[in-house]
Structures are given as C-alpha cells and as structure tokens.
Amino acid sequence: MIDNCPETLVDDIVAQYTQINAEEDKDKGEVVVQELVKHNEALHALSILRKYEEQNQFRNLDLLKVLRSHEREISSRLL
C-alpha cells in the first residue's frame, strides 16, 4: 500500500482552520479575522474524510486509524 498522505495531515488541516489568521486587505487596509472552528464542525469534517477514505478503492488503513483516533479525541472533549 502506498502512503501518499503525511502522518500529520489531519493535524495540519485542523491547525490551518483553528488558528486565528489576520490578513490585511490591501485595498481597504482592514484586518480580517478568521473564525475558530467549533468542535462539531471539526468532527463533521473528520467524518467526511473518514467516509471518503473508507469508500476509496485504494484506502489507507493508517490514515483511517488516525482519523478515527482524532474523532474519538474530539468527541471526548465534548463530554
């Protein structure tokens, strides 16, 4: 099985969307702050990625384990 996904793929995706990104709008000089991703939104995104990988003909079992692990971890934070 060929692993085309880095082990930190999910961490990188979550980090990209959870950090507050302030960008200056060059035209208006305004600062745009990106909203933080909520737990339920992160769970939904992980669920979609997991389902995609499960349905993929060339599914990556290591990636599935990581996605399930992250789903459990985030779910436990909601309790």
Residue range 53-75: average pLDDT?
A: 92
- Position with higher pLDDT, 61 vs 19: 61
* Stretch 33-52: mean pLDDT: 90
In angstroms, the CA 67 to CA 52 distance is 11
Cross-strand bridge partners of residue 23 = 32
- Tell the residue number behind the tokens 């990209």, with chain if given: 16
Q: Confidence class of residue 14 from pLDDT cuts 50, 70 and 90?
A: low
Kindly report, residue by residue over 47-62, the tens digit of the pLDDT.
Answer: 999 999 999 999 899 9
Q: Does the pTM of the predicted model rise above 0.75?
A: no
Residues with Cβ within 8 Å of 51's Cβ and at least 6 positions away in sequence, in order, are none
> What is the pLDDT, as a whole number, of residue 2?
47
Residue 78 has pLDDT above 80, yes or no: no
